[in-house]
Amino acid sequence: MERRHFCLLPALSGSFMMNGQAPADPAGNPFFREWTGPFGMPPFAEIHNEHFLPALERSIDEARKEVIAIGDNPAPPTFANTVEALDNSGELLEKVQGVFSNLAGAETNDTIEAVSRKVAPMMAALRDDQTMNPKLFARVKAVWEKRDSSGLQPEQIRLADETYKNFVRGGAALDNAGKERLRAINRELSTLSVRFSQNLLKETNSYKLVIEKKEDLSGLPEGVVAAAADAAKRANLPGKWVFTLQAPSIWPFLTYADNRELRRQILTAYSKRCDNGNEYDNNQVLYRIAALRAEKARLLGYETFAHLTLEERMAKKPEKVYDLLNQLWKPALGLAEKEKSDMQAMINAAGAGFQLEAWDWRYYAEKVKAQRYALNEDEVREYLSLDNVLQGAFMVANKLYGIRITERTDLPKYHSEVRTFEVKDADGSHLGIFLIDYHPRPGKRVGAWSSRYRGQRIKAGKDIRPIVVNVCNFSRPAAGKPALLSPEEVETLFHEFGHGLHSLFAKVRYQGLSGTPRDFVELPSQIMENWATEPAVLSTFARHYQTGNPIPPELLAKIERAGKFNQGFLTVEYLAASLLDMEWHTIKSEPKTDAAGFEKAALGKIGLMPEIYSRYRSTYFQHIFASGYAAGYYSYIWSEVLDSDAFQAFKEKGDLFDPNLARAFRARVLERGGSEDAMQMYRDFRGREPSVAPLIEKRGLGSNRQ
């Protein structure tokens, strides 16, 4: 399941020069020369803000000229001179975008944000220029029509098919008026998405809960208090304590703080992000995005935007998504009601005299868990230092696939906190470079993600290996301790590492086949979470940060017993967001009410209990309004069906590291990218289609017992 991670950090101090006055002339622009350093890594120390816009403008112009030349080629269209040529075009743009887009997410600043706003419509226009070029489309169509009789290999046939479909879905078959309208829609959508994301970052960073009285810290663990004191120092508020809307700050506060009014204040601020009628308000932005997407779908001949999007996913159509979500909704809601009753009983027994509210849930859930299982998350954290967890993830990958991951301190990095590793296969050959960036900063967007500075591809017969990065927002070290992770953060580290392995293992010939459907791409990441939480695996890397002693068997037993605790809440808040996403993207025209009214009606229709908020409200639902998960947030639970079933295969073998099964998973899932149908790849691995039963069991949704 997707993880939420949202804190503050000192001033930027990395080797990447954020505000330097570098020369902007082409001769001094590092993007315009070959990178000859180790593994072709970007020379971050030489890249300055002033280089981005001219590099993007030139690379966009070059990519446009390349596409025009392919369309104008007088030779008869062939796979090589048309489809393959398209796949190889835009190399400079890929190089520039690989750096710029990653820094825009992990290390942004005012200049990068301004460039993002300017370049977004330029990129949209470039995509439209390609797909709406009639000469180019005619050539692509000619190759596509003869794909089965031209002696092409299966991978080439699939690329021809995917390329043709991308053109049609991009408006190639529209008349001139339709094309012009689609261009206008795409241009406006690109600008609105950037605005939504930048508003969210600014609104999130602008909030501080400042605590001046020590008694208001009652209940909070020592490490949480120390981190808040450090945050106050960075905010020039020495002697006070600062809590923010970043994950390592807000969630521990809501879990442990005894002060109910302060819990209400911080959760209210979190849930009202970009919904305050100020300069960062996203209501009109997201409303317009939804309306434009609905219009775009109609223009292209689809009933709704969800129909347009899901056509290329495993789900294929909205009905299948709703079917899965609704299967889970009722049992999840029933379990959440049981959890609510247990907490209300505790409140009543203490004579507190109030009804449970949303800002009470995590606090009383922790108390019920401690009472029922004698399990304290803060005690567990002491065995989960960041370095040990990271080595645990590397160990799992080594035992499964034989790969070796070695830190390299000689490679360029964009910030001093980034760590770089070389990944080698079992035979010693180079697989790729892996970067990690694990702590929050003001210039880093919230959440956790995996990305690439360079993707894997075959160029002139040579296998170009990837440069992959994992970016997260984990708890910082505090009070002389190492960074100690929560169990959820451990799962997140393994999750994003799973995405990283997917990129590192890629073994496809064509860039156009490197991606997988959104509702399949979470399988490689989520399956890794299963190893992270297996007691037999956890015991190998969970060691006390002071003594080095392994986690005691009795504590492992408590963790295992509590494994299904609070799953009603976790499933309901996730499903509510997934259903909200689908509601926004199954509209057939502009919504009849404003954004707030639409959301209220959508969540009311499913009967969401007021004590649980949707994981994301619309105004800060970045996944669907500023990322690639529109009509796709369900993908996490869809993929969880796959990962639960796939991990069950290892359990059935009686060996969580069965080498034959690991080889099959790597060869049939991780290496193939999008070169084959996703369900067929899964069947090739499992021998059948996935069963939902392992997921139901894992989440404890088969009954209301915990």
Residues 131 and 40 occupy one common structural domain: yes
Cα separations in angstroms, 9 against 128, 311, 395: 40, 42, 30
Model pLDDT, residue 193: 98
Token pair listed for 62: 């070059």
Residues 47 and 190 occupy one common structural domain: yes
Token pair listed for 143: 């190759």
Cβ–Cβ under 8 Å, residues 470 and 498? no
What's the 3-state SS for 332-365?
Answer: HHHHHHHHHHHHHHHHHHCCCCCCCCHHHHHHHH
Model pLDDT, residue 703: 57
Q: Within a domain: residue 182?
A: yes
Please choose, from the candidates 445, 420, 415, the residue with its C-alpha nearest in 3D space to the C-alpha of residue 10.
415
Please choose, from the candidates 643, 674, 558, the residue with its C-alpha nearest in 3D space to the C-alpha of residue 312.
674
Residues 291 and 159 occupy one common structural domain: no
Q: Within a domain: residue 703?
A: no
Residues 117 and 218 occupy one common structural domain: no
The residues annotated with a catalytic role in the active site are: 496
Q: Within a domain: residue 574?
A: yes
- Measured between alpha carbons, how far is 364 from 291 in angstroms, rounded to an integer? 40
**Domain of residue 368, CATH code:** 1.10.1370.10
How buried is 62 (Cβ within 10 angstroms: 0-12 exposed, 13-18 middle, 19+ buried)? middle
Residues 160 and 45 occupy one common structural domain: yes
Please choose, from the candidates 467, 453, 465, 470, the residue with its C-alpha nearest in 3D space to the C-alpha of residue 418.
470
Residues 140 and 112 occupy one common structural domain: yes
Please choose, from the candidates 115, 96, 100, the residue with its C-alpha nearest in 3D space to the C-alpha of residue 33.
96
Q: Within a domain: residue 471?
A: no
Residues 105 and 48 occupy one common structural domain: yes
Q: Which of 169, 201, 233 is the last residue of a domain?
A: 201
Residue 439 three-state SS: coil
Model pLDDT, residue 457: 92
Q: Which of 633, 652, 671 is the last residue of a domain?
A: 633
Residues with Cβ within 8 Å of 330's Cβ and at least 6 positions away in sequence, in order, are: none
Q: Within a domain: residue 64?
A: yes
Residues 53 and 94 occupy one common structural domain: yes
Q: How many CA atoms lie within 13 A of 144 on its CB side?
A: 17
Residues 175 and 306 occupy one common structural domain: no
One-letter amino acid for residue 641 of the chain: V
- Measured between alpha carbons, how far is 459 from 356 in angstroms, rounded to an integer? 60
Model pLDDT, residue 25: 58
Cα separations in angstroms, 329 against 332, 518, 566, 670, 684: 5, 21, 15, 31, 30
Q: Within a domain: residue 115?
A: yes
Model pLDDT, residue 705: 42
Model pLDDT, residue 702: 80
Residue 451 three-state SS: strand
Residues 77 and 215 occupy one common structural domain: no
**Domain of residue 157, CATH code:** 1.10.1370.40
What is the model's pTM? Answer: 0.93
Q: Within a domain: residue 494?
A: no
Domain that holds residue 237: 207-271
Q: Within a domain: residue 84?
A: yes
Q: Give me the residues of the chain with pLDDT under 50, please.
A: 1-24, 704-706
How many domains does the structure of the chain reveal? 3
Model pLDDT, residue 8: 24
Please choose, from the candidates 583, 631, 626, the residue with its C-alpha nearest in 3D space to the C-alpha of residue 200.
626
Token pair listed for 690: 């996935």
Phi/psi at 682 (5° precision): -65, -45
Residues with Cβ within 8 Å of 690's Cβ and at least 6 positions away in sequence, in order, are: 641, 642, 645, 646, 682
Which runs of consecutive H residues, i.e. helices, occur in 237-282?
A: 247-256, 260-271
CA angle 627, 629, 632 (to 5 degrees): 175
Token pair listed for 224: 């949480």
Residues 247 and 353 occupy one common structural domain: no
One-letter amino acid for residue 690 of the chain: P
State in Å, rounded, how far the first CA of the chain is from the last one: 20
CA angle 562, 564, 566 (to 5 degrees): 95
Q: Which of 201, 230, 259 is the last residue of a domain?
A: 201
Burial per residue of 254-271, b for 16 or more beta-carbon CB atoms within 10 angstroms, e otherwise: bbbbebeebbeebbebbb
Of the chain, the percentage scoring pLDDT greater than 90 comes to 93
Residues 120 and 259 occupy one common structural domain: no
Model pLDDT, residue 622: 97
